[in-house]
């Protein structure tokens, strides 16, 4: 699909340009029957990815609920979910209780830890967890990313659909630290 093909879905517009990616986005998209911000990235071959903003905000409980919704979606449609470096010792698939515990461990403390890192070490912390469905759809590659940015005091829950041949979106690590300059801006 081209940019014009996407924008032809007028019922989801208006579409606005995204300066950072060169793509477009709409605040009037729909994901799983609910309103959602959706971004579209393009390259020379056309639509290269879709990014659903499942949650963006300061409410940890809402972010956790959105992440668990994504886990349930992957379970219902794609035979479960896998999270890098998080395996059950009994060899069974991840369940909602295990994912909730991981989310609580990482994101339940993220705001407090982010403030501590900023005050004591003069760094902005970003905490990141990745999730992939066990079985990918034939026509794309799904990936979910849950993150908390201390700089913006904001939680994010994203679902991406890339081309099947796209490289992995997995973060290089679960915590990224960016130095602040004297004004508090990352360098």
User: Residue 173: its pLDDT value, please?
Assistant: 87
Give me the tens of pLDDT residue by residue for the chain, a chain 187 residues long. Answer: 999 999 999 999 999 999 999 999 999 999 999 999 999 999 999 999 999 999 999 999 999 999 999 999 999 999 999 887 676 666 677 889 989 999 999 899 999 999 999 999 999 999 999 999 999 998 899 999 999 999 999 999 999 999 999 999 999 988 899 998 776 555 5
H or E stretch covering 141: strand 141-149
User: Residue 75: its pLDDT value, please?
Assistant: 94
Q: Where are the domains of the chain?
A: 3-96+130-171
Sign of CA dihedral 150, 147, 9, 46: positive
The three-class DSSP label of residue 131 is strand
Strand partners, 17: 24
Q: pTM, whole model, 2 decimals?
A: 0.90
User: Residue 112: its pLDDT value, please?
Assistant: 95
User: Residue 93: its pLDDT value, please?
Assistant: 77
Q: Cis peptide before 14, with omega less than 30 degrees from 0? A: yes
């Amino acid at each position: 699909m081209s940019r014009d093909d996407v924008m032809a879905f007028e019922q989801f517009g208006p579409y606005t340009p995204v300066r950072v990616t060169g793509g477009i986005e709409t605040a009037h998209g729909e994901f799983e029957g609910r309103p959602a911000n959706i971004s579209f990235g393009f390259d020379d071959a056309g639509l290269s990815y879709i990014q659903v903003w499942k949650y963006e905000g300061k409410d940890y409980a809402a972010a956790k609920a959105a992440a668990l919704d994504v886990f349930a979606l992957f379970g219902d449609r794609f035979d479960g979910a896998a999270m890098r470096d998080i395996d059950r010792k009994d060899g069974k698939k991840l369940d909602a209780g295990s994912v909730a515990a991981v989310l609580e461990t990482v994101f339940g403390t993220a705001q407090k830890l982010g403030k501590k890192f900023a005050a004591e070490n003069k760094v902005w912390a970003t905490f990141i967890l990745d999730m992939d469905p066990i079985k990918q759809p034939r026509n794309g590659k799904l990936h979910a990313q849950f993150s908390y940015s201390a700089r913006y005091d904001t939680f994010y829950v994203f679902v991406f659909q890339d081309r099947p041949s796209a490289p992995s979106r997995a973060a290089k690590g679960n915590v990224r630290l960016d130095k602040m300059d004297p004004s508090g801006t990352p360098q």
